[in-house]
């Protein structure tokens, strides 16, 4: 079953994302209209970019991947 972002729900600003590098979960959640649980579910399903393990206790997403996903959703 495909999920669509409801166009009536405004997305938070993605302008706070850096141009490049890595961002942790709070920065990603500030740019998407879903919860942390849904974020991880979408990563496992392959419908959102997978994070990168930077160290044993640090996981982050490539900013370029998040921006590309936002662009494909029509939010950029």
| 11, 48 contact by CB (below 8 A) | no
Q: CA of 72: how far to CAs of 10, 42, 57, in Å?
A: 16, 15, 30
For the entire predicted model, the pTM comes to 0.77
CA distance 48 to 65: 9
**Domain extents for the chain?**
22-72
pLDDT score of 75:
65
Average pLDDT for 55-74 = 94
Tens of pLDDT, residue by residue over 6-55, are: 444 444 555 678 888 999 999 999 999 999 999 999 999 999 999 999 99
């Amino acid at each position: 079953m495909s999920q669509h972002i409801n166009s009536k729900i405004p997305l938070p600003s993605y302008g706070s994302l850096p141009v490049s590098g890595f961002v942790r979960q709070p920065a990603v959640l500030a740019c998407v209209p879903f919860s942390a649980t849904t974020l991880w579910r979408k990563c496992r399903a392959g419908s959102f970019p997978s994070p990168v393990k930077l160290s044993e206790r640090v996981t982050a997403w490539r900013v370029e991947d998040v921006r590309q996903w936002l662009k494909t959703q029509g939010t950029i």
